[in-house]
Amino acid sequence: MMAGLVSSRRDKRRRARLFAVRLSGLCLLLCIGLFLVLAGCGGGETESKSMEQIHAEEGVPVRVETVSLEPFIIEHAYNGVLTGELESSAKAKVSDAVAHVYFKVGDRVSEGAVVLTFPTDNPAAQYFQAKVSYENATSTLERMETLYKDGGISKQDLDNTRTQYEVAKANWDAAEQAVRVKAPLSGIITQLNVRESDNVEPGDVLFTVSRAGRLKARLWVPESQIADMAVGADATATWGRATLDGEVTQVDMSLNSKKQAFGVLVEFGNPDLAVMSGINADITVMVPTGRNAIVINRRTVFREDSRHFVYVVGSSMARKREVVLGRAHGLDVEIVSGLEPGDIIITEGQMLLQEGSKINIVEQKRG
């Protein structure tokens, strides 16, 4: 019994020592954590003070740029539909079902090639009647020409026969065109609206042929911008990842009353057919103003009340200078007064500056 009591006391002392060790470790961890928190708080203040000291002693890091005169170009952005430089559609002349279609979209066709046909027995076309009449008129004209050479008929009789022949030929051409629909010009079929056995009515557009090697678009330019437009001005058209270069080819001199705008025609090269006819593209027209100007990024300019300022470099310090803005396009703005060629403006780091701040130039860009 005595041995069991001793063993029990030893276990209690062992557990007490283990508890004390764990408690001591926990206290140590809490002390270390508290020290780190206090050190972190104190370090932030030290770092802030050291940054201010660095700026005061070494200057605020800035990027600068030397301004110069450069051609001032105005950009106007529009949205327009690009179509082939030459484009024509064929329309149905009879009410009937399509008999055959010989081409598909994307095929290249020559002018006069038969693209599709209708049945020749359509009463409205009068195909066979026109054919017989034309053949008869041709034979009659040939006989009358022979008789006229032999003196058997007068010139008047020959002229009357030739007139009848021309009428018969015109009727035959119309009948054939109604039944055998041909390509109106050489190019690529960009649109095909019918398939074999489809029923159509007179006036329905059957297909469109386009010369897509060059594309055109008509822009509607407001009165406030028309003075900037000029034939020959550069233009770009963007659709997805494709960009086409072109130019202005026509500027209307009168206002369209329906659009309340002026029509401007632009044309673009499309040598690889990268852009399809009929798409809606973003079009930019770049118009030189004909003068040189100081042009800077508008982010360099800051505003106080209704006045505009920039920071310029003067004796290793930032100097605030008032400027007068002119016309703008995109991120660029014209400086009408306040800057001269050769002035050095601060383009990055302005938020940390005030009048007379010491600066540290880390990069200088030439204008």
What CATH number should be reported for the domain holding residue 153?
1.10.287.470
pLDDT digits (tens, 9 = 90+) for 10-38: 454 555 455 444 544 444 444 445 444 44
pLDDT score recorded for residue 264: 96
pLDDT score recorded for residue 4: 42
Mean pLDDT computed over 305-326: 91
Burial of residue 275 (number of CB atoms within 10 Å: 0-12, 13-18, 19+): buried
Is the pLDDT at 129 greater than 50? The verdict is: yes
pLDDT score recorded for residue 273: 82
Mean pLDDT computed over 190-207: 94
Tokens 């000029």 -> residue: 230
CA distance 104 to 173: 25
CA distance 55 to 357: 9
Do 80 and 223 belong together in one domain? Answer: yes
Least confident of 51-55, 63-67, 137-141, 219-223: 51-55
Mean pLDDT computed over 81-94: 91
Mean pLDDT computed over 299-327: 91
Do 296 and 313 belong together in one domain? Answer: yes
> In whole angstroms, what separates CA 344 from the centre of its chain?
35
pLDDT score recorded for residue 14: 54
pLDDT score recorded for residue 246: 95
What secondary structure does DSSP assign to 175-239, as a single string? HHHHHEEE-SSSEEEEEE---TT-EE-TT-EEEEEEEEEEEEEEEEE-HHHHTT--TT-EEEEEE
Is the pLDDT at 236 greater than 90? The verdict is: yes
Answer yes or no: are the C-beta atoms of 102 and 115 closer than 8 Å.
yes
Do 270 and 335 belong together in one domain? Answer: no
End-to-end CA distance of the chain: 102
pLDDT score recorded for residue 354: 86
Percent of the chain whose pLDDT exceeds 90: 50
- Which comes out higher in pLDDT, residue 70 or 340? 340
Give the CA angle between residues 344, 291, 297 to the nearest 5°. 40
CATH number of the domain to which 274 belongs: 2.40.30.170
Residue that finishes a domain, picked among 155, 176, 205: 205
What secondary structure does DSSP assign to 2-58, as a single string? HHHHHHHHHHHHHHHHHHHHHHHHHHHHHHHHHHHHHHHHHHHHHHHHHHHHHHHHH
pLDDT score recorded for residue 50: 64
Do 48 and 66 belong together in one domain? Answer: no
Do 218 and 285 belong together in one domain? Answer: yes
Least confident of 121-130, 157-166, 178-187, 286-295: 286-295
Side chain identity at 22, as an amino acid letter? Answer: R
Per-range mean pLDDT, top range of 276-280, 288-292, 329-333: 276-280
Do 107 and 192 belong together in one domain? Answer: yes
Do 92 and 196 belong together in one domain? Answer: yes
Answer yes or no: are the C-beta atoms of 121 and 101 closer than 8 Å.
no
Mean pLDDT computed over 89-112: 93
Confidence bin at 327 (pLDDT 50/70/90): confident
Is the pLDDT at 47 greater than 70? The verdict is: no
Is the pLDDT at 64 greater than 70? The verdict is: yes
CATH number of the domain to which 326 belongs: 2.40.420.20
Average of per-residue pLDDT values in the chain: 84
Do 94 and 153 belong together in one domain? Answer: yes
Domain range spanning residue 307? Answer: 60-70+292-366
Do 220 and 262 belong together in one domain? Answer: yes
Number of domains present in the structure of the chain: 4
Residue that finishes a domain, picked among 266, 291, 316: 291
Do 110 and 173 belong together in one domain? Answer: yes
Residue that finishes a domain, picked among 255, 276, 291: 291
Do 116 and 262 belong together in one domain? Answer: no
pLDDT score recorded for residue 11: 53
Do 219 and 80 belong together in one domain? Answer: yes
